[in-house]
Structure 1
Amino acid sequence: MSRAALAEGGGGEPGALVPSLSSERQEERIAARRLRIAARLEAKRREALGEDPDANKAEAEELSRSHKQIEESRQRLAKLLHDGTQLVTNIQVAADARETHRRAEEDELKRQRLEKLENESKTNQDKFEEITSKWGSAREKTIPQDLWEVLNQQQQQCALLIEEKNKLISELQQELKSKDDQYVKDLKKQADDISLLLDRMEEQIKNLMKTYRRELTQIEKAFELERRELLSSNKKKWEQAMQAHNAQELENLVTRMKKVEEYEKQLDQLRVQDSEEYTAIKIQLETDVQILEQQLQQMKAIYQLNQEKLEYNFQVLKKRDEENTIIKSQQKRKLNRLHDVLNNLRLKLAKQIKQFQEDNQTLTADYKRIVEQYKDLQRTMRHFAVIDAQKFLEIWLMNEQEAKGLMWKALDADRVIHTQQLGLPWVEPDDWFLDNVGPVVYRKTMKSASKLAQEVMALTESGRPEQEEEGRKEAAEAGEEAKPPRHVSAKTVKLILELLCDESGFLIESKMLGLLQPLERQERSLMKLDAIFAALGIDNEEDVYALVDFFLTFKAQQLASGQSEEGAAEEGAEGLAGAALKGEGGPTAQPEEGQAQRSSAPSPSSVLFHPDDVLKALTAFVRDVQRPREKRPQAKKVLEERDNSKDSEYWEALAHVIPEPKLQVWEALEAALEKYHSVLSQRAKLLAEVGGLRHQNAELHMLLHQYLTSKVNEQLLIPPTHVMDLTPR
């Protein structure tokens, strides 16, 4: 057998390295046949090349040493595993045998017990009949002594009968007690068997691990020996080849060198294959050891859990037995009581049915009366809703007037502070809430019909992607919400508008048609559409989409009822297809047309109009949809719930009309003005003190002048004028 064939059969598990034809597994037999065929082909190839088949056979025999060692190890491990399994399962077999024996004994005891009970029943029945038969003769006795003797005899026989019954009962109770003891012993025996099973399992796992390691060592040694033999044999062959190479002619040098290189490659390949096989087997064995250890831990955990479950279930069963006994007695009493309750309830049910029929009639009358009251209440609620809305408006206006008065005072104060105190220019704020009067109302903006027509004409042009992007940016800057795409495409809207523009010239004045001739085609179409919309009473985009939907529905009805002829439909389709190709540049319309043909139901873009049908559709639209405004019924004024989500923001804006930076300026100015006021107050006090001092000084000057000009001074030897220096300094 070749080394390559052995390498092919050596992967996987150790037992599958050398497949056998006598194996029980089909896969191993197939692999063995394949290896045998490969060996035959290799032998034929070597014979064709001139190599020695006996040497190859010897080499194959030598190479198979490691595989033989692996096979022997596999067999020993399988035998050890089988013996360990039998050793572990012997406990279960013994337990099953004991259980079978116990059941057989139990059946035998049960049979004996039944026979005993039957015999006892027959004997007691005979005795009871004998006692019963003597009562007739006792009634015939007239002498009290004889009657007393007969009664004593009957009493003794009854006592004997009762004693035998009690004896039988005691025997059965003793047997039941012995069964309980036997059950406890069985539980203990089961626990001992489980512990013995665990011990044997642990011992078996230890033996398996020890044997696996020993066999792995033997396999490694066999591989090493085989590797050394292969190296020595290949080295000898290489030396012989070198000697033959030196003896041969120079012209064979290149060929023999190639053979040497080929031999070296084969040696490297064999080394790599052997190392890979060795690593794979080692990893597999280590993995098996880890799996066995995990299974051991799992079995221990399962055993512990089962033991706890058994103990818990035993306690639960005891409690349940006691509870069931109590519940049975309770249920019997409850059953009797419920029978009485059922009879009472049946009587009550008949009374309740009669009463419910009377109540149903009464409640029906009450329901009609309450419905009328509810309608009156709705009318009253609508009336009060109108009144509440009016009161809300009045209170809003009153509070708004008061708040705006305070706001304008604050703004006036801010203006004075900026212009007079700070000397800065003051700009009056221009916020949205300053000009608002009444409750805040938010209305949804809607495009006009002219604007929608302009966008449709611009967006569907093949060379106008920039205008489309600008239109989207303008819509985003204006705050318009993105609407979901309608079921009508922009192309369909454009085609219908162009058809309407071409076929509805009678709605436009002749002077206007003359003025529109010099304009471009798109501008001329927009001007015509404006005039047509004005004539039809179309104001916004909803009216335009309603017109398009009506045209599509009208055409679909005509196609369904078969009123329009096939030739006219084809002609209209060609006309519109040509218009679409001219307006959109031809190839750009093909994808949409392909999509329309692929759809199963007729899409809006696939419904094509014949020009002669436009007038009919317009007539039906004006008649059915666009009724004259004076004939339209007056819509009821429905009080819708007002959106008050922006009310708090509105009042908050009124309350904070002066921004925070200005308030900080006010606070700084207030602090500076308070300091300035304190300085001015201090100066006022000082000025009052200076005025008082001046008044005192004037009075003192007056007294001094009187004193100096008094005539008494002339009589003095030294008048004051000579002492005092009156010259001003």
Structure 2
Amino acid sequence: MAESKRRLQSLLEQGDEAVTKVRVEGDDSENNRRTNEEARRLDRRQKLLFEAESSARRNAAIAMKWAALFEKEVPLELLHEMEAQREACMKVISQKDELIKEFQGILKSKDEEYVKSLKRWSEDIDLLLASMTEQFQQQQQQYEQETEEIEAVFRQERKELIESNKKEMEALMEKRRNMEQAHMEERQRRIEANQEQLQRNRLKDNEAYTEKKITLESEIQKLEQQLEVMRATYQLNTEKLEYNFRVLSERDVENTNTINQQKRKLARLQDNLSSLMSKYNKTDKQYNQENINLTEEYRRITEQFQDLQMKYQHFQLADAKKFDEIWGMKEGEVKELLGQVLQADKIIHEQQLGLYWYPPDEDARRGGFLVEAKIKGVVEEIARGEGERLKIESILKALGISSQQDVERLQRFFYSEDEQGESELISQDQACLAIKQFLKEQMAQSTVLTTTFHSTHDEGEERKSTSRNIWELCTSILSPKTFRVWTALEKFMIKYNDILTERSTLLDETRSLQTQNEELKLLLNQYLGSKINQELYVPPTATISRIGETA
């Protein structure tokens, strides 16, 4: 029995070694293939990188030469350079074409290698199946031989041990059957495992082949796209060069025409300059004569101004007298207006605000009257531009101007008469000269008019000071606090008026809606009472009653 088991075990080990040998050979072949494939992939990647760097360097060299082409002015040299550029571009394209052909050859060899691998794997599988069949037959024959030998021994001992070993014999037979069953199951399991492993390897290799094929095809497409882009770029650059050449030619013609026009214009301007110089000399003589005449006229006007100054003093006294008369006439009206303001303030405090009203001081009531509207506008304007007022006053004071007549006299220095006898404003360059002439005349008159000017000026300032004090007293009759109360009350009264107006509008809308509601009720009753509703399958009254029941 031991020898039989040993022989059977040896036979099983030989079968396992044969199967393992096939699997080891397949694994070794796959490892070698993967190693070689990785080396070839690295080689292809190195070629791609080298080609990309080489193409980039050549493209950079080509791009650098484009700038030199724009500097070429001789057409023949430009043609030679463009031919050289075209040859360089064709070299880049041919290099890319060679790389594409090489990759296409690699792809074709990959397809052939895949077919050979499938054929080799099929042969290995057939060999494995044949080996398994042969091992099965050998094991079966060996089992049968061992069984016959055991049965012969059993038959010899059967007579002696038939009774004692009957149960043992049955147990051994049962064990034998179990072993055979287990062996068959194990064999079947190994066959299924090998088939599954074979299927997995086949799918894995198929997926790897598909991925590699897709990768190579995508790389080929990218290279073809880059080739098309480069061709389009070269075509565009060629068209740009042709267009720029035509534009430069047209600009050369235009510049030549422009130079000729400028020469003609320069000659015409020189003629104009000669005529203007002659006109200037003539005008200069004329203005010198006019200056002499104006000087004589200035002396005459100065004498007239002194006479006017005396008349001005006379009219100033008359105006002051008239002002006093108007002052007395308007004082009653101003007091009446101030009384109305106080009465309005009292009504607002007592009736609208419900507060006790306190009358203002007596000083404010005694000093309350107004001046004419023109003076009020001047005061308001000065208050808005205090900085400008101080600046103007300082300039007038420096020039010695203290009255309206001085301002008008200064204004005449800034106007001159043209050839048609019309007055026009002098230029900015002549302004300083006009001011100097005015100061010379002012100094000549200062000795004569000093006493009169100071007396009238003091009276005017005193009158202005009195008017200013009276205005300040008038403004104090209504305090800023009271004015703010009036403003706030006005805002609230406006809001209250808006609310009442809105309420009135809403009441009108409510009445209108009520009227429309009544009209709709009448129309609904007429519609429900119409005879045509009786002819309907579902009259409106039934629908309304159903809706009422549901509600």
TM-score normalised to the size of structure 2? Answer: 0.35
* Higher RCO, Cα 8 Å, sep 6+: 2
Query: What is the TM-score of this pair, normalised by structure 1?
Result: 0.27
